[in-house]
Amino acid sequence: GAINVREALRNVSGVTLSSTSGSRREDFIIRGFSAAQFTNGIRDDFYSSRTRTDLANIERIEVVKGPASVLFGQAEPSGIINYVTKQPLLEPYYDFSFTVGSYDFYRPTVDISGPLTEDKSVSYRLNIAYENAGSFRDRVHTERILVAPTIAWQITPDTKLSYEYTYLYDQRPVDRGLVVLSDNQIPNIPIGRYLGDPEIQEQFTEQRSTVYFDHKFNSNFSLRSIFRYTYANEGGPGCTLQIFGGSEDDRNFPVEECIGNQDYETWTWQNDLISKFNTGSVKHTLLFGTEYSRQWNLYEGAFRSAGSIDIFNPSYDFIFGEFDPPGVGNNQVTTFGIYLQDQINILENLILVLGGRFDTYEDKGQFDGVPYVTNADAFSPRVGLVYQPIPEVSLYASFSQSFTPSFGTNVNGDPFKPLRGTGYEIGVKGELLDGRLLSTFALYDTTLRNILTEDPDNPGFSIQVGSQRSQGIELDIAGEILPGWKIIASYGLTNAEIAEDNTFPSGNRLNNVPTNTASLWTTYTIQKGDLQGLGFGTGIFYVSNRAGDLDNSFYVPSYTLVDAAIYYQKEQFRAALNFKNLFNTRYFDASQSRTVVQPGSPFTILGSFSINF
């Protein structure tokens, strides 16, 4: 019953929500550090994605932890999230579904696919979704439209060409959530109270065109080439109105309005060559790849005071001042990456992985007429080893480094060095109950260096002496215990803290990172008799308390949520009732600062049905 990414990923150990950017996006933390997001292996950041991912055209969500994420480029070694889109089918397929729920939530979707020619060499898929919803947040209303057609041409048995287009429109008010008072507590006000003006809507438009070319030269040598263009716009008639500072009386908080427009374009070209060969008795799978991208952004905006808002008794009759002179800027980012990896089967039960990636990066632009240029490059190695003492058990160990660009310059005008990460991991993966139950146990240690901290000799400038470290344990179990009885369970222990910093004390916890997370979701479907196809499910999700900021000036409390589901499936028909936050627990999803604390949804019911043929 997941209707967004965060609900799906809470079943995965070590993954938590980081930020919603005012209820616009969904950003995540893996193992204590930011998780880069990708679609079909191509990076999605704020240049290509301005609003939350829609699941209507997503086949699956891959959480790639540890060093495997380094192959994707510009990602911290803790892990990445990769969305895999739905592809055309060679047999006719039609699926129509409708979901309705609490707070005037309505969402119909269409998923149709099949061949376009008699020989099935040309096929298509079309996903359409429309969502119109209220919210537990006062007077908040959202609307979104997704249209995503894909066409594939199997030119020869060894050559395939595909084109994928996505249009996404999203309109919603920016929602920063609640605030923190001087006693470091979140005020006891309704979690639905909106501290802004929900009538001021922001509009997001995204368009993507992607071409995929796959060719097999022979059974051991293949090429995949991807070219993607994206355009994203963020703007609207009002843009945003939000709290921007603290309160002297713990009641009246200053607010400001922002108007403006942002345009983003990206061009990405990625190529992968895969070769399989032997050197004597040793088997190799060699991957060689290149990635080139250009990103462009134009920004213009202006701010003005809107008076203040009483958080205990809000009035939405704001008193506006004059707009400041508008700020205008643009920038262009050019990156190039080249990577090589060899998966070496030394023995039937012993695999060695050696790899590395070299990246170059240039960011140049201007803001209010002041130009700047930032350049960086780095090499990131990767080593991994897998040993199978028996076919059902895999022992593994890995080491990797990562590269993430930093923006800006120091007091001397020198560009900042990129963030460098180092990750170590050991673990075991096992198959139980004749392969019906899969489990993974991992221990990891990840360090991120070159973090910007305040320059003590030059206020208003930064230097790079900061480092952060995350160590932890993870356990994931998923599968079918008995016919019809399935479970997915996880536990994560994460110790993420500041190792060195000029601004915050060493040992402070990283914000939004809970020390403990746990989840258990189980379902049972009746297998025989008149009630065959009737199923029941329940889940429990625990998140311990989290530091609300790097200063650890306040903490977001821990919470436990309980969900339940009743569903029925017979042939092509399926219906379900999902009960979320069954006991109406008051909790908070994430926090970015003392004026941005995101509340979680109260008790919610969703009813859905679908038919496919």
**Could you read off the pLDDT of 559-609 as tens digits, one per residue?**
999 999 999 999 999 999 999 999 999 999 999 899 999 999 999 999 999
Mean pLDDT for 362-390 is 90
Q: Vertex 533, ends 529 and 538: CA angle to 5°?
A: 120
Cα–Cα distance, 124 to 149 (Å, whole number)? 7
Please report the pLDDT score of residue 362 as a whole number.
92
Query: Can you tell me which residue has the tokens 């048995």?
Result: 157
Half-sphere exposure for 266 (CA within 13 Å, toward CB): 26
Cα–Cα distance, 536 to 545 (Å, whole number)? 30
DSSP code of residue 120: S
Mean pLDDT for 291-296 is 96
Please report the pLDDT score of residue 417 as a whole number.
84
Please report the pLDDT score of residue 465 as a whole number.
80
128-185 per-position pLDDT tens digit = 999 999 999 998 999 999 999 999 999 999 999 999 999 999 999 989 999 999 999 9
Cα–Cα distance, 203 to 169 (Å, whole number)? 7
Please report the pLDDT score of residue 114 as a whole number.
97
Helix ranges (H only) for 4-63 are 5-9
Burial (0-12, 13-18, 19+ Cβ within 10 Å), 503? middle
SS3 459: coil
Cα–Cα distance, 578 to 211 (Å, whole number)? 37
Residues 6+ apart with CB under 8 A from 336: 290, 291, 292, 293, 359, 360
Distances, alpha carbon 184 to alpha carbons 247, 310, 556, in Å: 13, 18, 10
Contact 235, 203 (CB under 8 A): yes
Distances, alpha carbon 600 to alpha carbons 7, 381, 530, 572, in Å: 11, 40, 39, 34
Please report the pLDDT score of residue 27 as a whole number.
93
Contact 386, 351 (CB under 8 A): yes
**Strand stretches in 200-281, DSSP E:** 202-218, 221-235, 240-243, 252-279
Pull the structure tokens for residue 432.
């139980």
Confidence of residue 68 (pLDDT cuts 50, 70, 90): low
Cα–Cα distance, 245 to 254 (Å, whole number)? 6
Mean pLDDT for 277-304 is 95
Please report the pLDDT score of residue 459 as a whole number.
77
Helix ranges (H only) for 477-536 are none
Contact 145, 169 (CB under 8 A): yes
> Please, which residues bridge with residue 426 across strands?
397, 443
Please report the pLDDT score of residue 374 as a whole number.
85
235-244 per-position pLDDT tens digit = 876 678 889 8
- Tell me, letter by letter, the H, E, C secondary structure of 68-89: HHHHHCCCCCCEEEEEEECCCC
Confidence of residue 285 (pLDDT cuts 50, 70, 90): very high
Confidence of residue 276 (pLDDT cuts 50, 70, 90): very high
- The string over 10-28, giving b where at least 16 C-beta atoms fall within 10 Å of a residue's C-beta and e elsewhere, is bbbbbbbbbbbbbbbbbbb
Contact 535, 568 (CB under 8 A): yes
38-51 per-position pLDDT tens digit = 999 999 988 898 89
Residue 71: φ, ψ to 5°: -60, -25
Please report the pLDDT score of residue 545 as a whole number.
97
From the list 129, 70, 121, the residue with the least C-alpha distance to 96 is 129
Query: Does residue 73 carry a pLDDT above 90?
Result: no
Question: One-letter amino acid identity for 361?
Answer: Y
Pull the structure tokens for residue 208.
């993507």
Please report the pLDDT score of residue 139 as a whole number.
85
Question: One-letter amino acid identity for 432?
Answer: L
Confidence of residue 219 (pLDDT cuts 50, 70, 90): very high
Question: One-letter amino acid identity for 125?
Answer: R
Confidence of residue 408 (pLDDT cuts 50, 70, 90): confident
The H or E element containing residue 155 is: strand 142-156
The rounded mean pLDDT for the chain is 93
Confidence of residue 448 (pLDDT cuts 50, 70, 90): very high
Please report the pLDDT score of residue 533 as a whole number.
96
Please report the pLDDT score of residue 414 as a whole number.
78
Contact 368, 405 (CB under 8 A): no
In the chain, % of residues over pLDDT 70: 99
SS3 8: helix
Please report the pLDDT score of residue 70 as a whole number.
63
Taking the whole predicted model, whether its pTM rises above 0.75 is answered as yes
Confidence of residue 406 (pLDDT cuts 50, 70, 90): confident
Query: Can you tell me which residue has the tokens 């119109």?
Result: 132
Residue 224: φ, ψ to 5°: -130, 125
Mean pLDDT for 289-296 is 96
DSSP code of residue 415: B
DSSP code of residue 538: E
Please report the pLDDT score of residue 69 as a whole number.
63
532-569 per-position pLDDT tens digit = 999 999 999 999 999 999 999 999 999 999 999 999 99
Contact 534, 576 (CB under 8 A): no
SS3 55: coil
